[in-house]
Amino acid sequence: MTSDTETNTMSQDMVETQTETTTAPDAMTPSVTTIDEPSVQTVSDMPHRPAWVEIDLVRLGRNFQIINRDKPPGVQFLSVAKDDAYGHGAYQVLNIALAEGAAAVALSTLEEAVRLRERGIRAPILLLGQRQESELPWCIAHDLTCCVNDSHTAMKLARLAAAAGKRVPVHLKINTGMNRYGVGWNEALPLVEEICSTKSLLLEGVMSHFAQSDETDKTFARLQLERFNRFLRDLTGRRISVKYRHLCNSGGFLDVPQAHFDMVRLGIITFGVYPSSVCRRIPGIEAVMSVKARIAAFQKLQPGDHVGYGMRYTAPSPRRIAVLPVGYGDGFPRVRNLGFALIHGCRAPIVGGVAMDATTVDITEIPQAQVWDEAVLMGRQGNDEISVHDLARLKNTVSYDVLTGWRQRLPRVYLKSPQAP
Ligand SMILES: Cc1ncc(COP(=O)(O)O)c(C=O)c1O
């Protein structure tokens, strides 16, 4: 019995040959069937879907520059890039943030931090939240700065650092009223002293977090600031100084200048999105993310015809419908007969229910629309815009959730040069 495998003679940059052996009818002489090579090699060579998230890196860089001009010169900024930089792509965002002067980076999971280290991000990384003990050796090995909230974790970190022959920086989280992480503002001194008397730890920062900094009513923000200041006075009383005292997120940065201290932690504002409708505006800041799709098909409806699952739309008159190959499986809100897309700068109302992979829009009033024309689901087109906040209202949620809610199956397309208006 012989067995045979065809030798692949294709060029080196082709992918591995797939060779399939089938059994011949007499079961004695195997025959070999070769499946033809695809003409493309890897997923990255494939044409991307006609639906995508577009990230304008030029606008992102400009936002950082504008923020840098707006903030007092002595105040550093830390780029908050958790959840893949709010869906924008942490690696791409951080390369720009660091080039524009970010003093450090904040993330929330160990995995995202290690992945960024593996891709060559060498800047200081502050890991927000609470670490499990099993994560601490990884933090030390990858030079990640932990927020510490309790003595047990701090001392475990200290022992591991000492064993590794390192002195590791930590930022102590003070709970001033958010009541998630941190040690109470009026009971933190014993932990401060414990950290300061431990050789393998360096108290590099003390921090707190606003529960409500972007609303008109700043009563609670002022109370948190007052508590943080009381804690800082206690530190001064003990002659303890730290490099970074930080309390502000974007809302605090915009509206509570007394709380800027040494560093501000900026997330959403750097992406050109304001944390609320009432906080201070900085002229020139622009949204960095858009979501787009191309028209994949048309339908002509007669009066009485329906569209999509559940027949939720009935044409009152002859209508022309465009199908956009994007849906709630991509993170678009699961709405019915609500919202619109922009096509040729005009509003095309959504008709019927948004499905997992398809959204239908009425383009009767946009006769120039052609198949594969671009539609904007979030962002600007012509003189009109669908903002993150518009989608947040449709989804009954907040802008943060919309930005981070676009699924990974939507390719990210990065614009690196200025776009024509
Ligand atoms: C501790 C901490 N600081 C700062 C930020 C950044 O907030 P923002 O995106 O509002 O600037 C976050 C984000 O949630 C956070 O958890």
In a domain, 10, yes or no: no
CB 250 less than 6 A from any atom of ligand 1: yes
In a domain, 351, yes or no: yes
Looking at the fold, whether 315 and 397 belong to one and the same domain comes out as yes
Q: Looking at residues 275-297, what average pLDDT do you find? A: 97
Atom of ligand 1 nearest to the CA of 265: 4
Q: How many angstroms does the Cα of residue 210 sit away from the middle of ligand 1? A: 9
Looking at the fold, whether 260 and 295 belong to one and the same domain comes out as no
CB 268 less than 6 A from any atom of ligand 1: yes
CB 246 less than 6 A from any atom of ligand 1: no
Of 181, 247, 249, the one to substitute when testing ligand 1's pocket (max ligand atoms within 8 A of C-beta) is 249
Q: How many angstroms does the Cα of residue 6 sit away from the middle of ligand 1? A: 58
Residue 229, judged by CB atoms within 10 A of its CB (0-12, 13-18, 19+), counts as middle
CA atoms within 13 A on the CB side of 163: 10
Looking at the fold, whether 237 and 350 belong to one and the same domain comes out as no
Q: How many angstroms does the Cα of residue 68 sit away from the middle of ligand 1? A: 18
User: How many helical (H) and strand (E) elements, i.e. helices and strands, does the chain have?
Assistant: 11, 23
Amino acid at 243: K
Q: Which domain holds residue 307?
A: 289-415
Q: How far apart are CA 125 and CA 105, in angstroms?
A: 5
Torsions phi, psi for 144 (to 5 deg): -100, 135
Q: How confident is the model at residue 39 (pLDDT cuts 50, 70, 90)?
A: low
Q: How confident is the model at residue 42 (pLDDT cuts 50, 70, 90)?
A: confident
Instruction: Supply the pLDDT for residue 20.
Output: 31
Q: How confident is the model at residue 421 (pLDDT cuts 50, 70, 90)?
A: low
Q: Tally the domains of the chain.
A: 2
Q: Is 348 helix (H, G, I), strand (E, B) or coil?
A: strand
Torsions phi, psi for 283 (to 5 deg): -55, 135
Q: How far apart are CA 363 and CA 342, in angstroms?
A: 10
Looking at the fold, whether 173 and 239 belong to one and the same domain comes out as yes
Name which residue leads in pLDDT, 32 or 294.
294
Across 8-17, 32-41, 381-390, least confident range: 8-17
Q: How far apart are CA 149 and CA 191, in angstroms?
A: 9
| CA distances in angstroms from 53 to 32, 134, 288, listed in the order given | 44, 36, 10
The answer on pLDDT for 241 being more than 50 is: yes
Q: How confident is the model at residue 41 (pLDDT cuts 50, 70, 90)?
A: confident
In a domain, 303, yes or no: yes
Looking at the fold, whether 81 and 192 belong to one and the same domain comes out as yes
Of 64, 76, 80, the one to substitute when testing ligand 1's pocket (max ligand atoms within 8 A of C-beta) is 80
Looking at the fold, whether 220 and 255 belong to one and the same domain comes out as yes
Q: Looking at residues 218-245, what average pLDDT do you find? A: 97
Q: Looking at residues 276-285, what average pLDDT do you find? A: 96
Atom of ligand 1 nearest to the CA of 268: 9
CB 218 less than 6 A from any atom of ligand 1: no
In a domain, 349, yes or no: yes
Looking at the fold, whether 106 and 252 belong to one and the same domain comes out as yes
Residues in the chain: 421
CB 171 less than 6 A from any atom of ligand 1: no
Q: CATH number for the domain including 369?
A: 2.40.37.10
Q: How far apart are CA 192 and CA 376, in angstroms?
A: 51
Looking at the fold, whether 351 and 229 belong to one and the same domain comes out as no
In a domain, 127, yes or no: yes
Q: How far apart are CA 70 and CA 257, in angstroms?
A: 11
The answer on pLDDT for 154 being more than 80 is: yes
Torsions phi, psi for 238 (to 5 deg): -95, 10
309 noted as active-site residue: yes
Q: Looking at residues 26-54, what average pLDDT do you find? A: 69
Instruction: Supply the pLDDT for residue 25.
Output: 35
CB 265 less than 6 A from any atom of ligand 1: yes
Name which residue leads in pLDDT, 421 or 177.
177
Q: How many angstroms does the Cα of residue 315 sit away from the middle of ligand 1? A: 46
CA 209 distance to own-chain centroid? 20
The answer on pLDDT for 5 being more than 60 is: no
Atom 13 of ligand 1, residue of closest alpha carbon = 267
pLDDT digits (tens, 9 = 90+) for 171-197: 999 999 999 999 999 999 999 999 999
In a domain, 32, yes or no: no
Q: How far apart are CA 172 and CA 169, in angstroms?
A: 10
In a domain, 89, yes or no: yes
Q: How much is the pTM?
A: 0.89
Looking at the fold, whether 324 and 250 belong to one and the same domain comes out as no
Looking at the fold, whether 106 and 184 belong to one and the same domain comes out as yes
Active-site pick, 71, 82, 173, 395: 82
The answer on pLDDT for 19 being more than 90 is: no
CB 273 less than 6 A from any atom of ligand 1: no
Q: How far apart are CA 247 and CA 253, in angstroms?
A: 9
CB 266 less than 6 A from any atom of ligand 1: yes
Residue 203, judged by CB atoms within 10 A of its CB (0-12, 13-18, 19+), counts as buried
Percent of the chain residues past pLDDT 90, beyond the cut: 87
The interaxial angle of helices 110-118 and 90-99, nearest 10 deg, is 70
Q: Of 271, 305, 340, which one is at a domain's C-terminal end?
A: 271
Instruction: Supply the pLDDT for residue 8.
Output: 33
Q: Is 115 helix (H, G, I), strand (E, B) or coil?
A: helix
Q: How many angstroms does the Cα of residue 80 sit away from the middle of ligand 1? A: 7
CB 209 less than 6 A from any atom of ligand 1: yes
Q: CATH number for the domain including 109?
A: 3.20.20.10
The answer on pLDDT for 406 being more than 80 is: yes
Q: How confident is the model at residue 46 (pLDDT cuts 50, 70, 90)?
A: confident
Output DSSP code: residue 45: G
Q: Of 236, 271, 306, which one is at a domain's C-terminal end?
A: 271
CB 267 less than 6 A from any atom of ligand 1: yes
Q: How far apart are CA 234 and CA 118, in angstroms?
A: 40
Looking at the fold, whether 233 and 318 belong to one and the same domain comes out as no
Q: How confident is the model at residue 75 (pLDDT cuts 50, 70, 90)?
A: very high
The DSSP H or E segment spanning 386 is strand 384-386
The DSSP H or E segment spanning 299 is strand 297-301
Output DSSP code: residue 165: T
Of 265, 268, 280, 399, the one to substitute when testing ligand 1's pocket (max ligand atoms within 8 A of C-beta) is 265
Amino acid at 74: G
Looking at the fold, whether 74 and 123 belong to one and the same domain comes out as yes
Q: How many angstroms does the Cα of residue 244 sit away from the middle of ligand 1? A: 16
| CA distances in angstroms from 109 to 135, 145, 208, 333, 409, listed in the order given | 10, 12, 19, 27, 21
Atom 4 of ligand 1, residue of closest alpha carbon = 249
E strands present in 95-246: 104-107, 125-127, 144-148, 168-175, 183-184, 201-207, 244-246
Q: Looking at residues 155-184, what average pLDDT do you find? A: 98
86 noted as active-site residue: no
Output DSSP code: residue 237: H
Instruction: Supply the pLDDT for residue 417.
Output: 86
Contacts of 356 (CB under 8 A, 6+ apart): 327, 328, 329
Q: How many angstroms does the Cα of residue 49 sit away from the middle of ligand 1? A: 32
Q: Is 253 helix (H, G, I), strand (E, B) or coil?
A: helix
Neighbours of 249 (CB within 10 A): 21
CA atoms within 13 A on the CB side of 38: 8
pLDDT digits (tens, 9 = 90+) for 328-360: 999 999 999 999 999 999 999 999 999 999 999
Instruction: Supply the pLDDT for residue 387.
Output: 98
In a domain, 30, yes or no: no
Name which residue leads in pLDDT, 382 or 14.
382
